[in-house]
Amino acid sequence: MDPTIRQKRIFIGLLCIALLLFALVIRLLYVQLVASRSLTDHKVDLVANSVLQREGGMILDSGRGDFYDRNGYPLTGNPLKVLVVFPVEKDFRGNREQIASLSNILHIHSEEWERFVAQLDIPKIWTGPSADIGASSRSPRLPVQLTEPQMAQIESLHLPNLRIAEYKQRYTGNQLARHVIGFIGQNPDRITQQFVDQFHKGELQLTSKIGGAGLEKTLEPWLQGIGPTSISLFTDAQKRPLDGLASRMVSPNNEYYPVKAFTTLNADIQQRIETMMDKLHIKEGSVVVLDAANADVVAMASRPQFDPQQIDLTTGDWANRALKATIPGSIFKTVVAAAALEEKAASPDEVFDCEGALGKYGFTCWKKDGHGLITFREAFAESCNIVFGKLMERLNGEQLEQYARKLGLDARVGWSGTFAGQSGIQQWDAEEGGQIFAQNTPKNDQGVLMQSAIGQRDVRVTPLQAANMVVTLLNKGEVKSPRIVESLRFQNGRLMDNFALHTLASRSNGISAETAGRLLEWMNDVVDHGTATALQQAKWHLAGKSGTGQVTTGPGETDNQWFIGYGPVEQPKYAVAVVAENVPLGAGNKSLSLFKEVMNVLADQ
C-alpha cells in the first residue's frame, strides 16, 4: 500500500478518536456542570435545621464518633427516619391531589407545605409546621421522625422531590449528661492553630464543626470521622429531576470509623438524677457520683441546664459546675480533722469548750449559744466552728495544704495520661484545681487560718474533688484519679485502647488507714446524731459531712450548701458529692434533700 495513503488513514483514525474523546469530555462537563446541578457549597447551621451541602446533597451523618454509657446505651447519635425535601421546579412538586394527600399524612394544612417547599433553595429535612416552633423564635426546630405507616404512604405518592432517609441527630431534646459531653461548633481559629495538618489536607474546613467543650473537645482527635454520609438528587439547570437518575447515597462504609467512646456513666442513674434535680428546683449546682472502689464517674450532672443545639457562650450555662472550684464550707473540716489526727494535735476524745464565739478575729460558731463542752469527735458530727478554729491554732498553713493534697484537694484529680500511644491526654475539659490559700495570702496568719479551717476565706474545692476525697477515705488513704471514659472502640466493636485506671497517691503517701477509717466513722456520727439526722429516712444507711459556704453577705446573702458522703455504710458502693450553689438565706437546706434523693436512686439499682 502506498505509504502516503497509509499515513492518511492513520491520521483520519486518530482524528476520529480525538473527536470521540472530545465529545465524551463535553458530555461529562454538561452532566457535571449543567444537567446534574447539585447545589454545592451551600453551608448552613444544623441548629437552624439546615444542613451542610456537599457533593450535590445533604449531610445525613457527619461521620463523627458517638458516646455510649458503660452498658452500651447511646448518649449521642440518635437515628431518625426523616423526610428530605429537595428544591425542584414547581411542576415537579406534585399535583393538587398529591399535595393534599401528603399534607394529610404529615397532619398539616396544604398551604403550610406549599410555603415550606416554595422557599427552598437547598435540601432540607421536614421539621413540622412553623407553629410548632414555640414561643421563642430562637428555639431550634428538630427533624420530625416519621412512623412506619407515614413512610409507606409517602413512598406510594412517588413525588420526585421527596426522599425518606435515616438522619443521625447528634443531640436530642432531652439530651443526657450535656455538661459532660459538651457541644460542637464552628471555631476557625482553633482549626488553623490546633488542627493544622487536617486543615491543609482538606480533612477539616474553616466551617467544620469541632468540639467546643466537654468530651467533645478533649476527645476531638479521635471523634473526627473519615467522611460524611450524604444524599443527592440530580437535577438540570432548571431544577428538574433528571429521568433515569435517582437519588444517590454516598457513605464511607468503613468498618473501623467512626469510633465509639464508652463512658463510665450509667444512663439510667444519670437520667433519674437529672430529673430529680429539676424536681427539687436546683437552679445552680451539681451532683457527682463515683464508684467507691475505683472512682469511676457513675453520674455527673450540672445546673443550670443548656441546649447543645443552640449555644449562648455569653451565659456560661454550658460550663460543668462539677469541675468548677467553689467555697466548700464545713466539708473542708474533714481535712482539718485529718491533719489534727495525723499530727497528733488532738485526740478524738479531747474535750473543748464552745461558747459560741472565740473572742478574737470575729470568729463565731453557727450555733450562737455555743455547744458547751464537746469532744473533738462530737465537734465533727455537730460541725462546731469553735473547736476547729482552736485546732488550727495547733497547726500551720503548710500542714493544712499538705493534708489537703493527701486527700486529693488543691490539684486537678481527673484522669490524664497516655492513650493510644499519645501522652498528655486529658479526659476532663476545663477542670479546676481549687486552692487552699490565694497567692498573696499569708498562710500562717491566725485570722486566715481560722477562716480556712471552716472552708471559707480562699479555700476552693470542686465537687469532683470532694466526691473523690470520700473515695480516698474508703480506700484507706489511696487517692485515685476519676475516669469519665473507659475505652474507645472501632465501629466493628474492636478495642482501640483502654484508659487505664490511675492512682494519684499511694497509701504510703496519703493519710493513714487508721485515720481514714476514723473519719468514716465520724461521718456516720453526722447522720446518727449530728447535723444530718434527716438522712436516717433514706433507703440506705448513709454517712457523710455537711457544709455551708457563705458566698455573699448583706441583704442578698447566699450560701453554697454541700453534702458529701457514702452508702450503704455496711458495704460502701458509691461516694457522692452534691452542692446547691448561691442559695438565698432562709431558703432551707437543699443539699440534704438532694443527697438523700440521689442515694435513693442508687439504692434502687
Helix (H, G, I), strand (E, B) or coil at 398: helix
Residue-level pLDDT at 253 = 86
258: cis peptide before it, omega within 30°?
Answer: yes
pLDDT at 135 over 60: no
If you average pLDDT over every residue of the chain, what do you get? 89
Residue-level pLDDT at 17 = 61
pLDDT at 376 over 50: yes
At 140, the pLDDT band (50, 70, 90 cuts) reads: low
Residue-level pLDDT at 83 = 97
More confident residue, 331 or 128: 331
- Alpha carbon separation from 84 to 345, 422, 564 (Å, rounded): 73, 41, 50
Contact of 42 with 58, CB cutoff 8 Å: no
Mean pLDDT of 553-567: 91
At 137, the pLDDT band (50, 70, 90 cuts) reads: very low
At 2, the pLDDT band (50, 70, 90 cuts) reads: low
CA dist., res. 406 & res. 506, Å (int): 9
What is the 3-class SS of 218-238, one letter each residue?
HCHHHHCCCCCEEEECCECCC
Residue-level pLDDT at 10 = 58
DSSP, residue by residue, 87-147: ---GGGS--HHHHHHHHHHHTS-HHHHHHHHHT-SS-EE----GGGG-S-TTSPPPPPPPP
pTM of the model: 0.87
Mean pLDDT of 261-280: 98
pLDDT at 39 over 60: no
Percent of the chain beyond pLDDT 90?
Answer: 75
CA dist., res. 461 & res. 439, Å (int): 16
Lowest model confidence (mean pLDDT) among 109-118, 134-143, 219-228, 338-347: 134-143
Residue identified by cell 428538574 is: 240
Residue-level pLDDT at 32 = 43
Residue-level pLDDT at 514 = 98
Beta-carbon contacts of 139 under 8 Å, excluding residues fewer than 6 positions away, are: 133, 310
Residue-level pLDDT at 245 = 65
Domain spans, the chain = 267-345+395-603
At 368, the pLDDT band (50, 70, 90 cuts) reads: very high
Lowest model confidence (mean pLDDT) among 318-327, 494-503, 529-538, 544-553: 544-553
Contact of 436 with 404, CB cutoff 8 Å: yes
Helix (H, G, I), strand (E, B) or coil at 201: coil
CA dist., res. 429 & res. 164, Å (int): 38
Element (H, E) at 485: strand 485-489
Residue-level pLDDT at 367 = 94
The DSSP code for 240 is P
Residue identified by cell 437543699 is: 590
pLDDT in tens, 204-213: 888 889 999 9
- Estimate the crossing angle of helix 110-118 against helix 96-106, to 10 degrees: 100
Q: In what order do the strands lie in the sheet with 78-85?
A: 124-125, 78-85, 162-169
More confident residue, 16 or 490: 490
Element (H, E) at 14: helix 3-30
Residue identified by cell 488542627 is: 195
| CATH fit for domain 267-345+395-603, picks 3.40.630.30, 3.30.365.10, 3.40.710.10, 3.40.50.300 | 3.40.710.10
Residue 211: Cβ-neighbour burial (10 angstroms; 0-12, 13-18, 19+): buried
pLDDT at 238 over 90: no
Mean pLDDT of 581-601: 94
Mean pLDDT of 536-555: 92
Beta-carbon contacts of 105 under 8 Å, excluding residues fewer than 6 positions away, are: 150, 153, 154
Beta-carbon contacts of 396 under 8 Å, excluding residues fewer than 6 positions away, are: 443, 444, 449
Phi, psi of 300 (to 5 degrees): -150, 120
Task: Give the helix, strand, coil percentages of the chain, each rounded to 5.
Answer: 35, 25, 40
pLDDT at 274 over 60: yes
More confident residue, 40 or 510: 510
Contact of 176 with 273, CB cutoff 8 Å: no
At 288, the pLDDT band (50, 70, 90 cuts) reads: very high
C-alpha cell at 31: 452532566
Helix (H, G, I), strand (E, B) or coil at 9: helix
Residue identified by cell 449546682 is: 285
CA dist., res. 386 & res. 365, Å (int): 6
pLDDT at 1 over 80: no
Residue-level pLDDT at 51 = 35
pLDDT at 490 over 90: yes
Helix (H, G, I), strand (E, B) or coil at 453: helix
Mean pLDDT of 229-237: 86
Residue-level pLDDT at 46 = 31
Percent of the chain beyond pLDDT 70?
Answer: 88
Residue-level pLDDT at 9 = 61
CB atoms within 10 A of CB 352: 20
pLDDT at 256 over 90: yes
The DSSP code for 326 is B
- In 244-317, where do the E strands start and end? 248-250, 260-263, 285-291, 297-303
- The letter for the amino acid at 155 is E
Lowest model confidence (mean pLDDT) among 89-93, 100-104, 363-367, 531-535: 89-93
